[in-house]
Amino acid sequence: MPFGRIYRMIGLLSAFFVSACALPYASSEPPGESFARPAVADVIVAGFDNISDKYIEKVTLSRIGVEGLRGLGAIDPAISLREEGDEIVLRDGGVEIGRMQYPAETDVRAWAAAVVALTEKARAHSNDVRKASAEKIYEAIFDGALSDLDIFSRYAGSAEATRNRAKRDGFGGLGIRFRVDRGVAIVTKVIKSTPAAESGLRQGDHIISIDGAYIRGLKSREITKLIRGPVHTKVRLKLSRTESVQPFTIEVARAHIVPETVTTRVNDGIAIIRISSFNHDTANSVERALEKLADPSSPPIIGIVLDLRGNPGGLLRQSIKVADLMLTQGDILRTVGRHPESLHHYEAGGNDLASGLPLVVLVDGKSASAAEIVAAALQDRDRAVVVGTSSYGKGSVQTVIRLPNDGEITLTWSRFVAPSGYYLHGLGVVPTVCTSGKEKLSQASGIIEAALGGDEPGYSSIWRKRAFLNQKERRGLRENCPSEARRGGLDVEIAKRLILDGAAHQKALRQTTATAEAIN
d(CA 369, CA 315): 9
Instruction: For the beta carbon of residue 67, count every other beta carbon within 10 angstroms.
Output: 20
d(CA 489, CA 119): 55
Task: Give me the active site residues, please.
Answer: 369, 380, 394
Among 299, 429, 310, CA closest to 372: 429
Residue type for position 385: V
379-382 contacts, C-beta under 8 A, 24 or more apart: 379/429, 379/432, 379/512, 379/516, 380/331, 380/418, 380/419, 380/420, 380/512, 380/516, 381/327, 381/330, 381/331, 381/332, 381/348, 381/419, 382/509, 382/512, 382/513, 382/516
SS3 content of the chain, % helix, strand, coil (to 5): 35, 25, 40
For every residue of 427-495, DSSP letters joined together read T-PPPSEE-TT---GGGHHHHHHHHSSSSS--THHHHTSSS---HHHHHHHHHHS------SSHHHHHH
d(CA 376, CA 96): 54
